[in-house]
Amino acid sequence: MSVGPAWLDHMKPAADTARDGRTDQVLGAARAVRADLTALEARRFEIAAQWAELHPGEEVDQSVPWEERELEIAGEGAPTVAEFCIAELAATLGMSTDAGRNLVGDAVETQHRLPRLWARVMALEVPVWRARRVAQLTASLSVEAAAYVDRHLAAVIDKCSYAQIERTVEAARTSFDPEAELARTVEDHLEVRITHAKPALGETPGTACVDAILTTADALDLETAVADIAHRLLASHPDASLDTRRALALGILARGEHPGGSSREVVIYTHHRPAEGPGIIGVDNTRAWVTLDQLSEWCTTAGTKVTIKPVLDLADELFTDHYEPTPAQHEQAILTHPTCVFPACSRPSRGCDLDHIIPWPLGPTATWNLAPLCRFHHRLKTTGGWTYQRQSPTSFEWTSPHHRTYLVTSSRHIH
């Protein structure tokens, strides 16, 4: 669009005119991509709801712990789904089972309890992410309260801030679910998240971001303890900033170097994986990386218990005649596979079951026949119709009840 006299356009250099034309093309392409992404997200949301409809939940004997269960995936009055069906849709979409469960739950909640909002999403008038935010807040509401939210937000959701959405939900809860409001506890909102630095992305190795929501009482207690320790650290760290001393204080609290606590333990496995690179060490069962200097500092901190474990060759084929794996087999599996080996699962292997890929006694308790599975995916493999085969020491091919295959490699990619 011209912003001056028309004759000025004729005075523009040819390069500027060409650049303006190219800019319009790129912006036009960006708008088209945005529209396509909105449509694809809405279609995926619709597919998640359709998948739930195809797999309704049925009452089962809850006393049989390994069998499939009826899963209440959305709020009051919404249909349930068969628990095991989530895994296949999630794997097909390239996401974890937990992420798939959240997607299907949000879709069912929106379709059945927020129908006005669902209609706008399907009409591509509201992005899926906005609808999911509302659905996650209304899942704990009664049918009447969810309907109230739908009536008040559906028409204006694209103009609402997240704070406005929360206020509407809380108004509905107070008006329609007063008993539930009184019964709700602050524990519903508590959480602690620890994100380890990624040196490959230029972040400082040996550091992590800690983000937490605590009760006010616990937060005040923590503040008092951190402030007290940080003040005492001034004598031994006179040049350290207050922020540095407070961070060190949290570490002291975590190691229990205060009344009633426990000391730090460092377990060193005397093996090396060349792929991890020189001077950088992976911390077992985390995504954390530290340098040799940092490891040395850990080991020399007062009160630290250092355990040296013997060389464990991850390529060794270990075998036992018994059903239970040996401690060496257990450690070997954990060190080889840091997480559950089901497609996209990121649960740490140290908390997983060690599964016989070919069920025992048909399959031996041997290295090639053992892999860590979290309890849910172990149940899925045992009674849910999923099977898998080892393709290499660190890759597996899973086959679903619908005969679709998923290759999981050591880098956790699904193919």
The answer to whether residue 143 is domain-embedded is yes
Same domain for 30 and 85?
Answer: yes
pLDDT in tens, 258-288: 654 445 566 665 554 444 444 555 555 555 5
User: How far is Cα 288 from Cα 198, in angstroms, rounded to an integer?
Assistant: 7
HSE, side-chain direction, 13 A CA sphere, residue 162: 7
Residues 256/232, Cβ–Cβ less than 8 Å: no
412 phi and psi, to 5 degrees? 70, 15
SS3 304: coil
Same domain for 389 and 249?
Answer: no
* Number of neighbours of residue 264 by Cβ within 10 angstroms: 19
pLDDT of residue 276: 47
SS3 152: helix
Query: What is the number of structural domains in the chain?
Result: 3
Same domain for 237 and 360?
Answer: no
Same domain for 231 and 373?
Answer: no
Give kind and range of the element (H or E) at residue 91: helix 85-92
The answer to whether residue 99 is domain-embedded is yes
Strand order in the sheet with 395-399: 387-392, 395-399, 405-408
Cβ neighbours of residue 385 closer than 8 Å, sequence gap 6 or more:
84, 400, 401
Query: The pTM is what?
Result: 0.70
Q: Give yes or no for residue 99 having a pLDDT over 80.
A: yes
Same domain for 177 and 229?
Answer: no
Cβ neighbours of residue 102 closer than 8 Å, sequence gap 6 or more:
none
The answer to whether residue 194 is domain-embedded is no
Domain of 374?
A: 319-408
Same domain for 242 and 357?
Answer: no
pLDDT in tens, 325-369: 999 999 999 989 999 999 999 899 988 999 999 999 999 999 999
Report residue 176 as tokens.
């329609």
The answer to whether residue 298 is domain-embedded is no
Which among 314, 367, 374 has a CA at the least distance from the CA of 343? 374
pLDDT of residue 1: 46
Same domain for 16 and 97?
Answer: yes
Q: Give yes or no for residue 121 having a pLDDT over 60.
A: yes
The answer to whether residue 377 is domain-embedded is yes
The answer to whether residue 310 is domain-embedded is no
Same domain for 241 and 145?
Answer: no
User: How far is Cα 269 from Cα 282, in angstroms, rounded to an integer?
Assistant: 11
Q: Give yes or no for residue 92 having a pLDDT over 80.
A: yes
The answer to whether residue 3 is domain-embedded is no
pLDDT of residue 387: 96
Which among 337, 397, 335, 333 has a CA at the least distance from the CA of 365? 333
Give kind and range of the element (H or E) at residue 306: strand 305-309
Same domain for 38 and 167?
Answer: yes
pLDDT of residue 312: 66
pLDDT in tens, 205-262: 888 888 888 877 688 778 888 888 888 888 888 888 888 989 988 888 887 766 544 4
pLDDT of residue 68: 87
Which among 59, 54, 107 has a CA at the least distance from the CA of 85? 54
Same domain for 168 and 236?
Answer: no
Same domain for 366 and 323?
Answer: yes
Which among 161, 167, 172, 116 has a CA at the least distance from the CA of 139? 172
pLDDT of residue 113: 97
User: How far is Cα 295 from Cα 69, in angstroms, rounded to an integer?
Assistant: 45
Same domain for 85 and 163?
Answer: yes
Q: What is the largest CA-CA distance in the chain?
A: 92
Report residue 38 as tokens.
């909105």
**For helices 14-54 and 128-138, angle between their N-to-C axes, nearest 10 degrees:** 40
Instruction: pLDDT band for 95, please (50, 70, 90 cuts).
Output: very high
Question: Positive or negative, the Cα torsion across 329, 332, 336, 341?
Answer: positive
pLDDT in tens, 27-47: 999 999 999 999 999 999 999
The answer to whether residue 244 is domain-embedded is yes
